[in-house]
Amino acid sequence: MSRMNKKKLRKKYLHMRKSISRKEIIKMSYEIFFQLKKMFFLWKKNYYHIFLPIRKHKEIDTFIIINFLLRIGKYVTVPCSNFNKLSIENCLFHENTILTKRKYGILEPIPRHKFIVSISLIEVIFIPLLIFDFKGYRIGYGKGFYDRFIPLCKKNIIKIGLSFFYPIKKIQNIHKNDLSIDIGITPNHIFFFNKKKL
């Protein structure tokens, strides 16, 4: 079961995540945040890019992390999607940012609160995913937004994946250009895949 292709894995873990209760989502989101807080070196950076949770997909509640980052005086940016080009803009997020729901239930700043920040400033990026394996490869939603976005960032950017599920042994049919993460976080574990960068 651990050696499945991307399409089957995506279907499986979307189904598994849908079965999680809202109460459990919040509980595990906090557990993931507590794991993150253990890594003191992460919080010495200035610019953090993080996705906003899609409620209907039962994603991790990243507002817990965002609120922490704002409290300690960090700059937070969020993705603003161009669905025609399948690309992402890097938009500043702050306490007074008003959000609107767009395609696929994605939350984004309203147009008048949409302030674009240079991608080159991002030091830590939290990448949405369903599951990752023991080599740091991930299964996302299959649109490839972040596979196109990450190469535009600085080479030493720290890539973090958050998952409710323990990693699987191996994701099959990995392409040479597929994005891998540097750190994977689950409610009970921290996995390092690229210690040299850290």
pTM: 0.91
How far is residue 190's CA from residue 34's CA, in Å, rounded to a whole number?
Answer: 11
**Tell me, what's the pLDDT at 2?**
47
**Tell me, what's the pLDDT at 57?**
87
How far is residue 57's CA from residue 152's CA, in Å, rounded to a whole number?
Answer: 27
**Tell me, what's the pLDDT at 63?**
97
How far is residue 24's CA from residue 198's CA, in Å, rounded to a whole number?
Answer: 31
Contact 66, 73 (CB under 8 A): no
Domains of the chain: 6-192 (3.40.50.10420)
Over its length of 198 residues, how does the chain's per-residue pLDDT go in tens digits? 445 688 889 999 999 999 999 999 999 999 999 999 999 999 999 999 999 998 888 999 999 999 999 999 999 999 998 776 768 899 999 999 999 888 777 888 888 888 999 999 999 999 989 999 999 999 988 778 888 899 999 999 999 999 999 999 988 878 777 789 999 999 999 999 987 677
How far is residue 177's CA from residue 144's CA, in Å, rounded to a whole number?
Answer: 11
Q: Both ends of the chain: CA-CA distance in Å?
A: 32
Contacts of 109 (CB under 8 A, 6+ apart): 78, 80, 91, 93, 97, 98, 99, 100, 115
Helices (H) and strands (E) counted in the chain, each on its own, are 4, 11
**Tell me, what's the pLDDT at 1?**
42
How far is residue 6's CA from residue 72's CA, in Å, rounded to a whole number?
Answer: 38
How far is residue 174's CA from residue 151's CA, in Å, rounded to a whole number?
Answer: 17
Burial of 30 (0-12, 13-18, 19+ CB in 10 A): middle
**Tell me, what's the pLDDT at 3?**
57
